[in-house]
Amino acid sequence: MKIGEIGEFGLIERITKMIDGNPDRVLRGAGDDAAVVRSGTGKLLLFTCDAQIDGVHFLSDRTSPVQIGRRAAAVNLSDIAAMGGEARYALVSIAMPDNIDVTFVEGIYEGMLFEMNLAGATIIGGNTARLPERLLIDVFLVGEVSENELLTRDGAVSGDLLCVTGKLGASAAGLELISNEQLNLGLNVDNVVMSRYLTPTPRLDASRVLARSGVVSACIDVSDGLLQDAGHLAKSSEVSITIEAGDVPIDSETVEVARTFKKDVETWALTGGEDFELLFTVAPDGKEKLFRDLFDETGLQATVIGFVSDGENGVRLLKEGHEVVGNIVGFDHFQN
């Protein structure tokens, strides 16, 4: 059996089964946005790592080194946000051809340091290696969170509302635009969608509001696509999740890019991925105050896009109240 036959998440599931239990202090290993370990200091430690590879996650010939560095930091910071935590320390491994200019590498670190500083985190070390084929940046990040504020994927229950911060689909629009660099749609459109792809914003401030609220039952960041990540929530919580496609928030700039390239903007919002917004569940009676606090403290709006119910673990997609039948997919490193 080849990896391409089982896909990224099939591979992760097989590897996870090989891990023989967890030490006493490990509350969560594989299966969430970050591993969770008791520290003995009253705080839980969060551990995550994510690699960014030239030609897979970014295009070095169309992206500045600072943007590459910012993105490498942001995708890891987003995992800490999904757990309700605060980022603290990072180790960075970078592998690259030996003909890359030193100033290019310095620019990457400048970008990483910018994002880490915004988050209150520090790069404390790492590793370098020669890789002839392409540039690779792997960030290992440590965060922390109080035990009573930890957000996980497995707490959703029947009756909860499914909600998402911000707007979806802009990162996919940005990728489309950067892949067709000769087309300029106008400063505002270009800036909105390109920045969402090149330098995504980890929702750390929003996650702290969700974590402190005490009413959020489950949370994940939207990295693999809304439908895929909703599926992760459903599987972890052992519930059914229903999403109404027409309720998924999409900004006008993303719509304009889709119209220009004759793409389905709804597909971008549902499966495009790498928006790094927070997808979360909350009981109906806690929604109004949470949304108000979220906006008051961060300026970020949240939207109800579905609901949780008992039933087969998975995701149902509705369009104008009618169920969409078919394969629901998002990004998979080995099957896309």
* Domains and their CATH numbers in the chain: 3-149 (3.30.1330.10), 161-323 (3.90.650.10)
SS3 of residue 318 by DSSP: strand
SS3 of residue 59 by DSSP: coil
Residue 334, pLDDT score:
37
pLDDT per residue of the chain (336 residues) written in tens, 0 to 9: 777 777 766 776 787 766 655 677 787 777 778 999 998 778 999 999 999 999 888 888 889 999 999 999 999 999 999 999 999 999 999 999 999 999 999 999 999 999 999 999 999 999 999 999 899 999 999 999 999 999 999 999 999 999 999 999 999 999 998 888 656 676 678 788 999 999 999 999 999 999 999 999 999 999 999 999 999 999 999 999 999 999 999 999 999 999 999 999 999 999 999 999 999 999 999 999 999 999 999 999 999 999 999 988 899 999 988 888 765 555 444 344
d(CA 309, CA 87): 33
Q: Which residues make Cβ contacts (< 8 Å) with residue 24, sequence separation at least 6?
A: none
How many CA within 13 A on the CB side of residue 47? 11
Q: Which residues make Cβ contacts (< 8 Å) with residue 169, sequence separation at least 6?
A: 250, 251, 254, 258, 265, 268, 269, 272, 275
